[in-house]
Structures are given as C-alpha cells and as structure tokens.
Amino acid sequence: MTISVNGQAHDAEPRPGQCLRTYLREQGSVEVKKGCDAGDCGACTVLVDEMPTHSCIFPAARAVGRDVTTVAGLGSPDHLHPVQRQFVEAAGFQCGFCTAGMVVTASTLAGVGSDDLPRVMKGNLCRCTGYRSIRDAIAGRVNTASPSAGEAYGSSVAAPAGARVVTGREHYALDGFGALDEPVTGLLHLKVLGSPHAHARVAAIDVSRAAALEGVHLVLTHRDVPDVLFSTGRHEDRLDDPDDTRIIDPVLRFRGQRVAVVVADTVAIAEEACRLVDVTYEVLPAVFDAHEARVAGAPLLHGDKDPLHSRISEPGRNVVAQMHDEHGDVTAALEAADAVVSGTWQTARVTHAALETHGARAWIAGDGSLVVRTSSQVPFLVRAELARLLDLPVEQVRVVVGRVGGGFGGKQELIVEDLVALATLRLGRPVQHELTREDQFTIVPCRHPMTVSVTLGATADGTLTALQLDVVTDTGAYGNHGPGVMFHGCHESVAVYRCDNKRVDAEAVYTNNLPSGAFRGYGLGQVIFAIESAMDELARALAIDPFELRRRNVIVPGDPMIVTAVEEGDLTYGSYGLDQCLDLVESALGSGRGEVAPDGWAVGTGSALAMIATVPPRGHFSHVTVSVTTDGTYSVDVGTAEFGNGTTTVHVQLVAQELGTTPDRVRVRQSDTATSGYDTGAYGSTGSVVAGKAVHVAAERLRSDLLARAGRRAGVAAGHCVLGPDGVEVPGGRVLAFGELFEEQISATGSHDGTPRSIAFNVHGFRVAVEPSTGEVRILQSVQAVDAGVVINPEQLRGQVEGGTAQGIGSALYEEMTLRDGEVLTRTFRDYRVPQMADVPTTEVLFADTVDALGPRGAKSMSEAPYNPVAPALANAIRDAVGVRPHELPMSRDRLWRMLNP
Amino acid sequence: MDLNTVTTLRTARTRDDLRLEPGETVLAGGTWLFSEPQLEVSGLVDLTTMGWEPWTIHDGGLSIAATCTIAQLLEPPAPPDWAAAHLFRECAEAFLMSFKIWNTATVGGNLCLALPAGAMISLATALDAVAVIWTPDGGERREPVATFVHGVQSTSLQPGEVLRSIELSTAALRARAAFRKTALTPLGRSSSVVTGRLDLDGRLTLGVTAATPRPHVFHFGHPPTDDEVQRAIATVDAWYDDAHGAPDWRAAVTLGLAYEVCEELRS
C-alpha cells in the first residue's frame, strides 16, 4: 500500500506515531510547513482525498491508500492554480510561511461569501498581513501592478518571490536549497534537555546512559563547551549587549535553559537520550518580579559576573542597565503646573509568533569551512559571533539565510546556531536543530514586560511643562537586548514632545523568568502606551481636544530633540509629516465612516502618536553589488534578509527605476555571507533605508558606467544617452545593446553606513464600542496615518501598516503569555490568542505627503513603527467610551469587565 | 506532531482488539492526541477501523458512534420535528478550530478528552445524552454524559472501558433549544457555553459548560425566572481558571448568557 502525494506514489511506510506532516516532508514535500505542529495554525494544511486537513495532527498511517495534495500539487510557478494567482495578484502574503496552508484551504472555499470568511478561515493564522490582503486574494481583488520600464518606483510591484511562495517552491531555513553543496544524507538531529528549575546549579551530571543509547552521536554538557560569555542578542556593535550567556552554563537561571544537548540519528532518539541524562540539581532561590529583584537580599542572577567585562550595570542589584537623568527641573515644574496627571501602566509578555520557528542546519563544506543555514534577520552578525565563540577565522564561517518565515525582532538573536555549529565541528556531520512551537513560547526571548509610571504637568493653555518617566523592564534571566530596549523605549517616545523639564528613571532588571528580547518597536511601544495614555488624560484634565494638545506640544522642525539633554547625535529632520498624520486621523475619525455600534454599547474615540528614528543608532552598514549581464538582466547582491518586510521588492524597484528596466529583469540574491557584501542585518527597519540606500547608490553608479560606455562608443556626451531595458539609446535613435557595451557582465558597488538618520511618524485612531457587562470591545473604525516619506510601494506599505496594526491589536486586546513561578503556562497557539481573521478589523491606511532628504529617493522606513501607537489609541478610545482608564495590557474582556465592575 | 515514543499502531476490528496493553491508548480522530507530546504512550489502537456506523436514527432517537466525526454529525437528515437539531451546527462551530478539523475530530474523542470547552460535551449535556460504555467484561454500561465527564481531562472511564456511542432521545431532539457562547475573542476558544432546552412538557434544562471544570445541568419544572436562574447558577462550586478567562468574569458572563437562553426559550 502506498501514499499518493501530488499524484506520485510513495511506498515508504509511516512510523506508528508519525504525523502526515513529517512524513510528507521526509518524502521531499517541504512545501508543507510547520507553524505549530499542534493543529492550531493551519500552515501544514493539505488535501487528503480532497478534504482540507491539518497534516500535523493527522496520523500518517491513515493516509495509506489515499491521495494527498499539497500546495505544490495545486499548481506550479508556470501554471498557477487560480487561487495561487489570486494570492500573487492581491499581494496576499508577506513572509509567506502561512501561505501554503492558506492557499490549500482557500482552494476548497468555492461559494463561500466574504462575510463567512472569518469563520471558515479561523483555522489559519497569519502573523504578517492583518488578513485584509488575504481576504482580497480569496475574493479575487488585484492589488499589484506591472509597471513599464523605469516606472517601478512608487508602483505596487508584486513581491518577486510571489509565484514561488504561493506554490510552495520558495525555500525557508530547513527546506534545503539544493544549490549549495549541502549533504543530502546523514543529517543528524539535535535536542536540548531544558532545566526543570527556575534557578539551580548543576551539582552533578551523568550522561553515560544517554551516550550509550544506540543512534546517539554526541552529548554535550557545560563541561564540553567553550568557556566564553556572549549575548544571544545581536547588534552591529557587539558591546551593545551584555556578555552574560554561556553556550551551556552550569547555573540555570530560567526554566528550559540548556542543561545538556544530544545529537542523534533521529529526533526521537535525541529526545529519548535527553530523558536518560541524569542530573542532580542544587535548587537556588529564585525571583520572578522585577520590582522585588531590585530589593536588597533578592537572589542575584549574575552576581558572579564582572560588571565591566560582562557590561552589566549593577550585578549586585540585578540591574543590567539603568538611566537616571534630568533636563530642567521637573519637581519645580510640577509644583508650578496648572494641571498634573500621573499613572502607572503595565504591559504583558508577548511572543513574536513568527510562523516559522527558529531552526538551523550546519555542515562542513568541501573546502572545510563551516556552513550554517538558519532563519535569522542578521546572518553577518551571527557569523561574527559564531567565529568568536568557536575561535574560527570569520572567513571560515558561512551563514546562509533563505526566505525567513517571519521575524518581528525575534530573529535578531542567536538561539540555535551556536549548537548546530558546535556539534557539526565536533562530529564533522550535518546537524539540524529545529525548535518546536512550545520552545518558541518557553525559551525564546519574548517582548519585554514593562511597568511605566508617567507624570505630566502643563499650564492651563495646554503647554507641557513637565514629563517624568519611571520605567522598569523585566529582561528575564539574560540581558540580551535588555539595555537597548530600555534606552530605545525611553528615546523617541520622550523626544517627540517639546517640554522644558523632563526626567527619566529606567532600569532593566534580571529575573528568573525566560529572557525578554527584541520585539517590533524595540521598547517604544510599551513606553508610548503609557505616555500617550497620560497625554490623553492630560487633555481631559485641561479640557483640550487630545489632537489639539498634541499639536501644541510635539516637536516641529527646528526644535531640538531632547530626552534628558539636547541630542548631539546624527538624528535629524530629514522630513516631517507628523502634522499631516494628526490631521488625517482627526479628519478620518470625524468623517462618520466605520461600523455602527450595537444598541446599548458605550462608544468612544481615541488616538495616539508615535515617532521613530528611521535607522538604529551607532552605525548600520550595507555593502551592495548591482550587476548587469549582456541580456539586460540585473542582479543585486545584498546581505539583508527578507522576512516578509518586502525589502526584496523595494530593491528590485530601486534598480528597475534607476536603470530604466522592468522589475522582472531584476534578480536579488540576498542574505548569504559568502555571496554579498557585509550587511548589519534586517532590524530597525533598515532594509529599505540602509540596504536600499546602498542598492540605490550601486544602481546609480552602474547607470553612470553604462551611459559613459555608450557615450564613448557613440562619440557623444553620456548625458545625451538614455538607458532602457534593452540597452542604451544614443542620439539618432540607435539602441546600443548591452553586449556592445561590455563583455559578459559589469558591476557597481554601493554602500551606506546608516547615518545621518531621519524620523518617521505614525498616528492611530480608533472608534470603539464597549459592552460593559461582558467587557467586549468592538472596533468600529480603525485608521492609521503614516509618514513614510515618498511611498515606494503603496500596497506593500499598506500591508506593513495593516500587519503592524493587527499585531498591535493582538497585544492590546488578546495576547498574553502567562507565567507561574517562571513556568510558561501558555505553550500553544490555542492558549495564546494570535489574532485570527475574525479579530482584525479593516484599517484605513493614510499616507502623509513628505519627501525625506536622507532616505533612498525620499523614502523612510516603515516596518516596525505601525505597531507602536495602536495599544494607546485603543486604550484611549476605551477610556472615552466607558469613563474608566485601562492601565494594563491586554485589555481582555475579563480585565475590562473587572475594571468596570469592581 | 510526531509521537516519538509510540512504537506500535494496531487497527482494531473486533472488541477483543480493544484490550489495551500497557502503554497503549485508543486513537480516535487523533486531533488532540497528535497535538501534544504523549510521553506515556508507547502504542496506539485505532478505533476508527471498528467500522461503526457514524450515526443511526431509530424510533428512540439518534445513536452517535464515538468514532462519528464532527462532519458526519452534521449529516443526519433531522426529521422536521427535531427542533433542537440546530444545536449540532452551533456546537460544531464552537470548536476553536475551523471546519477542517470537523473532518477528523470525533464526537467520542471530544467527550473523552473532557476539556471544559469540549463542544460535544456542550451538545451532549444540552440534550441529556447518555453515554454507552463498553466494559472490559464484554458488557456495557450507560451513564449520562453530564456525569461521565468528571472534571478537566477526567471521566468516569475505567481501565479497559471504551466509549461506544452516545444516545439522544427523540423527546430531547424535539425540544426547543437555545445556545449561547462567549470567548475572549469573537470566534475564540469557548470561555462559557450555556445551552437551554425547553421540552414539550414545559420542563427546562439549562446546561453550563466551558466556564466550569465539569458540566453543570440544571433542571427546572417550568421556564425559570431570572431569580431562579440566578439562584441555580449560584450553586456552581467552581469556575474554571485558565488562559481563556478569569473565573469571576466567567461566572458573570455565564449568568448573563443563562438569562438570554431562558428569555429566548420563554418567548
């Protein structure tokens, strides 16, 4: 008996406990994705005898004798299934990792009306899009364009990978590339034994039973790893993050931390061997509250570390970073103020929920170098740190990243790569480590929970005179990104207001919870939630319209940017559209658009603003090569990674525009440390404004070169020549083909160092209805105005704003990781509410009309920023509706009910 | 996910095949079993190969096999006088997962899993369903589903026992029924489900599931007043506390849903 997969019979016998998903992948159908492996997300959906089925919870043995169809069986890039074509034309995906399941499910929905989509699609999660574009795809709406030569910029060009993504041909980290010299057999699997205690010391560890198990190749404990401290958080300057982490540490500071590592022939054997490791733990006192952790006598997490060497501010107080500074005199200003408001706000732990979990595979290449293929936003930073940890020359390490199945900051971390690299070096064999969804919840860094107290003072005319901030962040057991998130969180959020007296007290605190890390917005969202809530409260205290209060107090070009001192750095007004954003949202909320409130529900409106620097501080680099071959095909070699942010499309557009060609003649090769110039990586929304700027520079140089060659050939000035898709037109109308200008290929390079930096703005507005007896919130209208400079790709930008809004609504209303004594209780998507299609309203997306002096062709970054104003805008609308101010996220139905029924 | 500790898979064809070896567990749809690590399980015995008719309509009512999938449950051609038949679809929609899971998940699996939010528990308790349980001695016993489910992931099943079917009576199916659900999101996992059934003789049965660790069923000789409903709900000894809602909120919204259900059935 066989299993038929896309018409091809497979006679491999499924294992007794095997699910269909892994069977299909083992048979080569890597288009079937693992999002959760628990039936919750739908990414693995296939058809079994034409019935849509979550293959991760379907016993493989039950497929024997049946026909399985995957997304690759529905169509191919050259012969797209109608639904696949619709997803391309609607731009119905971003990272594309959920898309295989989306497409397969949608292919069964003939006759389902658009009103019924949320119900039938509730088994398919998308973290990137906010679902509007998926609804459009299923409805057959076309949102993309095919611009003429030289007209790509500003056009809704479709993502170049579209046809491959919707047919399952695009390869993610563990899908195998084929093109590299990766061994196709002999792959070993790595599993980790995690700590059962929140704080403990390994008193004794015996791996003999594990090592003796047949099929086990390697067992590693803390005794077997380099004695080097590092940080899983990665930045251009590695000194930004504290060196407080060991590959395997004998001291365990959170539940799930690595105790031992097993490499075996199969995942099953590796798991079994982990259960055979005998460990004696000396349990230590633990602390789970960031406030208690700072109190004298609290258990110290890194008291053994040298503060200078590890860059930990005060190990003796569990404080990894702190800021205490003042501009002006806040106390005096508050005493003199006509109105003072204050409050303390709390945000929750949130998981990134990128549909692709962390995973990496390593092997030794033919030339003896170490190759690591991984799902990372920062391949070059991973390479540098691997070389440092393993004491290898950086040239002997190659890090390759395919398309990344979602990041949101979570893949600016080195979570799995060190282990596969180490194991491969020890064994000389390829090793894979794939995290489970449970791992993503329990051991992968989450968004920093923050307690933020704000006091504002103002004069009766609405002039802000005092802004006082006290921030405590729970950075968990390790300080990765803790300092950066804390400092950044208190930066643009404070600097956006013109105020003579400001004070910031902020501390990032170690606890025995899982580590917190980088998350979309990088700390700004948490602090903005508090400040924008307080600003709304101040408007009420002064009886001034909240839009008007903000207009009176936000910085305008010419104002210095001040947190606690005038910023001397490289942050400048490259453009300014905050005024337009405020006007656009105010006007939209006043338009009467949106849904009608149910009878008897309380209705309110609210808004919030956010500012963000267009590039992270202290250097962000990209070195790019743009080449052209004699057939007029351009290629871009760029180091930044594509994780659904759409930078590949942007780079194609920049090249097509500059070089007078069409997007289909531009190829992008990206995120491979062996083939492209150095790139700091895809974080801080730099794919367009740093890598894109470098692409633009390289494209300009290549254009100049081509025109100069044509001019010399024709004996005219280069300025009289026009570059087109088929060559260069010279005076008289003759077109010199590329083959007449050069042999084979010519290239030009471009680079950018990420400075100076500009600022971008987002303003969000909501009208909501609240049912006080249940705490239910219904969003009647959602509008966000963004100042992204010149809009490179309207559909993609809209998608980024919608996706950020959806993630913001998730954090504001639904999502919460719950912990008890450091144990994560929410370990599956069914217990953690990533917004479904039904949970995300349509958001009206509006663009300010500005031209940035710094970004490529006047553009600014706009990828993480749309998330930031969502939670406070929603909180302010709820406050307006019910008369009581929420102070805690998520504003779930049970919390709001309790707030209204104390 | 792969159940890596499982080394055997048997397909059951006869009752004898259902005698479990140590480490074996019964596999129905598998939608939950394959969704979490099952480190104690070393063998699976597939129940779906027993060849049970998914459902049978007979004079006494409706028999639903434990292996009947949710999709099959929506198939029976309900006679026109089965006024309560709309509950089948409402309860199916109450699953957190979409219609796709209906093709695989089974009625019996959902009952035996005994999660508070088990949508088939809501259905069975609303209709006073009786569980038919095969006992290891070759016999069978019957028990109301409302007591069959003891608590969170706990049932009255003894070692060696297998849920064979549930029986719904014609009288219950002919009753008027009402259904209300709330969750923390519009289509989320149920935080509270309240069902009501007004029998032709005027008796009213109120069922509370999802909000409590075990189902609660309240029988009234007549459609109750709000005051009577309030007193009945007040007897609930424990409200469930998990990621899908705080207990105090669950108690409050359940009472609200119970008022709505009774009001609908009174009108």
A17 touches chain B (CB under 8 A): yes
Give the three-class secondary structure for A574.
coil
Is A268 within 8 Å of B4 when comparing Cβ atoms?
yes
**Looking at B171, B203, B221, which one is the last position of a domain?**
B171
Angstrom distance (rounded) from CA A658 to CA A700: 6
How distant, in Å, are the alpha carbons of A634, A681, A758 from that of A654?
12, 19, 20
| Per-residue model confidence as pLDDT tens digits over A840-895 | 999 999 999 999 999 999 999 999 999 999 999 999 999 999 999 999 999 999 99
> Encoding tokens for residue A635?
């290629």
Give me the residue from A40, A272, A831 closest to B243, CB to CB.
Answer: A831
Which residues in chain A are closer than 8 Å to B34, comparing Cβ atoms? 19, 39, 56-59
Residue B39 shares a structural domain with residue B59: no
Q: For residue B253, which residues of chain A lie inside 8 Å, CB to CB?
A: 773-774, 893, 897
Identify whether residues B205 and B153 lie together within a single domain. Answer: no
Taking an 8 Å cut-off on Cβ atoms, the answer to whether A833 and B184 are in contact is: yes
Q: Say if residues B236 and B216 touch (Cβ distance below 8 Å).
A: yes
Write the residue in B9, B43, B252 that is nearest to A61 by C-beta.
B9
Contacts of B245 in chain A (CB under 8 A): 893-894
DSSP per residue, A134-147: HHHHHHT----B-P
How far B5 CA sits from the closest chain A CA (Å)?
Answer: 7
Amino acid A176: pLDDT: 81
A543 Cβ contact list (under 8 Å, min separation 6): none
**Is-contact A880 A820, C-beta < 8 A?**
no
| Residues in A 271-290 with any Cβ partner in B closer than 8 A | 271-272, 275
Q: Which residue of A has its CA nearest to B31?
A: A57
B185–A814 CB contact, under 8 Å: yes
Q: Which ipTM did the prediction report? A: 0.97
Contact criterion met (CB below 8 Å) for A753 and A620? yes
pLDDT tens digits, one per residue of A575-605: 999 999 999 999 999 999 999 999 999 999 9
| Amino acid in position A49 | D
Task: List the structure tokens of A495.
Answer: 């600097």
pLDDT score, position A179: 54
Confidence of residue A183 (pLDDT cuts 50, 70, 90): confident
Mean pLDDT value of segment B136-144 = 96
Residue A107 in contact with partner chain B when CB distance is under 8 A:
no
What integer pLDDT is reported at residue B267 of this predicted model?
86
- What is the location of CATH 3.30.365.10 in chain A? 306-351+445-568, 570-611+756-902, 622-752
Claim to verify: residue B156 and residue B186 sit in the same structural domain: no
SS3 A628: strand
* Confidence check: pLDDT of A568 > 90: no
**Span between the terminal Cα atoms of chain A, in Å:** 64
Q: Could B2 and A15 be called an inter-chain contact, meaning their C-beta atoms sit closer than 8 Å?
A: yes
Are A620 and A686 in contact, with CB atoms under 8 Å apart?
yes
Selection from A127, A119, A98 nearest residue A32 by Cα: A98
Q: What is the pLDDT of residue A434?
A: 98
- The pLDDT score that the predictor gives to residue B76 is 87
What angle do helix axes A99-106 and A82-89 make, rounded to 10 degrees? 130
Distance in Å, alpha carbon of B128 to nearest chain A alpha carbon: 28
Question: Three-state SS for B104?
Answer: coil
Tokens 């005998």 — which residue? Answer: A278
CATH class of A3-166: mainly alpha
Check pLDDT > 60 for residue B149.
yes
The answer to whether A305 and A312 have CB atoms below 8 angstroms apart is yes
- Check whether A180 has a pLDDT greater than 70: no
Tell me the C-alpha to C-alpha distance, in Å, between residue B16 and each of B134, B135, B161. Answer: 11, 11, 12
Nearest CB partner across the interface for B245, out of A16, A54, A894: A894
What are the chain B neighbours of A774 within 8 Å (beta carbons)? 182, 252-253, 256
Distance CA B170, CA B176 (A): 12
Superfamily of domain A188-284+361-442 in the CATH hierarchy: Aldehyde oxidase/xanthine dehydrogenase, a/b hammerhead (3.90.1170.50)
- Range(s) for CATH 3.90.1170.50 in chain A? 188-284+361-442
Sign of CA dihedral A582, A872, A125, B69: negative
Q: Does A746 touch chain B (CB under 8 A)?
A: no
Residue B142 has pLDDT above 80, yes or no: yes
pLDDT surpassing 70 at residue A340: yes
For A224-247, the three-class secondary structure string (H helix, E strand, C coil) is HCCCCCECCECCCCHHHCCCCECC
Residue B156 lies in a domain: yes
Chain A touched by B23 (CB under 8 Å)? no
- Looking at chain A, the whole-number percentage of residues with pLDDT higher than 90 is 97
pLDDT of A31 above 70: yes
Q: Do A271 and B44 touch (CB under 8 A)?
A: no
Q: Tell me which chain B residues have a C-beta less than 8 angstroms from the C-beta of A818.
A: 243
> Residue A193 pLDDT > 60, yes or no?
yes
Q: Is the pLDDT of residue A177 over 70?
A: no
Contact A58 B34 (CB under 8 A): yes
- Smallest Cβ–Cβ distance between B187 and the set A17, A105, A119 belongs to A119
Chain B, 223-252: which have a CB under 8 Å from a chain A CB? 242-246, 248-250, 252
For B131, phi and psi rounded to 5 degrees?
-85, 135
Average pLDDT, chain B: 97
Rounded Cα distance between A213 and A272, Å, is 9
Instruction: Name residues 59-98 of chain B within 8 A of A (Cβ).
Output: 93, 96-98
A38 → closest Cβ in B1, B186, B188: B1
The answer to the question of residue B150 being in a domain is yes
**Is the residue at B2 inside a domain?**
no
| Kind of pairing between the strands at A446-447 and A431-434 | unpaired
User: Dihedral (C-alpha) A719, A724, A728, A734: value to the nearest 10 degrees?
Assistant: -110
Interchain proximity B43–A16, CB inside 8 Å: yes
Question: How far is it, in rounded angstroms, from Cα B245 to Cα B211?
Answer: 8
Looking at the domain A570-611+756-902, which fold is it? Answer: Aldehyde Oxidoreductase; domain 4 (3.30.365)
**Cβ contact B249–A272 (<8 Å):** no
Q: What residue of A is the nearest CA neighbor of B25?
A: A17
Residue A179, SS3? coil
Interface test with B, best of A894, A899, A901 (most B CBs within 10 A): A894
pLDDT of A5 > 80? The answer is yes
Element (H, E) at B192: strand B190-198
User: What average pLDDT does this structure show over A111-126?
Assistant: 95
Q: Which of B163-186 are b and which e, b meaning 16 or more Cβ less than 10 Å from the residue's Cβ?
A: bbbbbbebbbbbbebbbbbbbbbe
Interface test with A, best of B4, B40, B239 (most A CBs within 10 A): B4
What are the start and end residues of each CATH 1.10.150.120 domain in chain A? 3-166
Are B128 and B218 in a shared domain?
no
Do B196 and B238 lie in one domain? The reply is yes
Residue A569: pLDDT band with limits 50, 70, 90: confident
B116 and B184 in a single domain? The answer is no
Contacts of A896 in chain B (CB under 8 A): none
Q: What is the pLDDT of residues A406-455, one digit of tens each?
A: 999 999 999 999 999 999 999 999 999 999 999 999 999 999 999 999 99
CB contact residues (below 8 A), chain B span 159-198, against chain A: 182, 184-189
Contact at CB, A833 and B97, closer than 8 angstroms? no
Task: Tell if the CB–CB gap between B97 and A123 is shorter than 8 Å.
Answer: yes
Question: B97 is in which domain, residue-wise?
Answer: 51-171
Q: How far apart are CA A812 and CA B45, in angstroms?
A: 44
Boundary-marking domain end, from B115, B138, B171:
B171
CATH of the domain at B209: 3.30.390.50
pLDDT, averaged across chain A: 97
Token reading at B119: 């949508």
What's the pLDDT tens digit per position in B23-81? 999 999 999 999 999 999 999 999 999 999 999 999 999 999 999 999 999 998 889 99
Helix (H, G, I), strand (E, B) or coil at B105: coil
CATH no. for A622-752: 3.30.365.10
Please write the tens of the pLDDT for every residue from A53-105.
999 999 999 999 999 999 999 999 999 999 999 999 999 999 999 999 999 99
Q: Give the integer Cα–Cα distance in Å for B232 and B238.
A: 13
From the list B35, B242, B246, the residue facing A38 with the nearest CB is B35
- Give chain B positions within 8 Å (CB) of A825: 243
CATH number for the A306-351+445-568 domain, one of 3.30.365.10, 3.90.850.10, 3.90.1150.10, 3.60.10.10? 3.30.365.10
Q: Does B27 sit within 8 Å of A814, measured CB to CB?
A: no
Residues in chain B within 8 Å Cβ distance of A38 = 1, 35-36
Number of structural domains found in chain B = 3
pLDDT computed for residue A835 by the predictor: 98
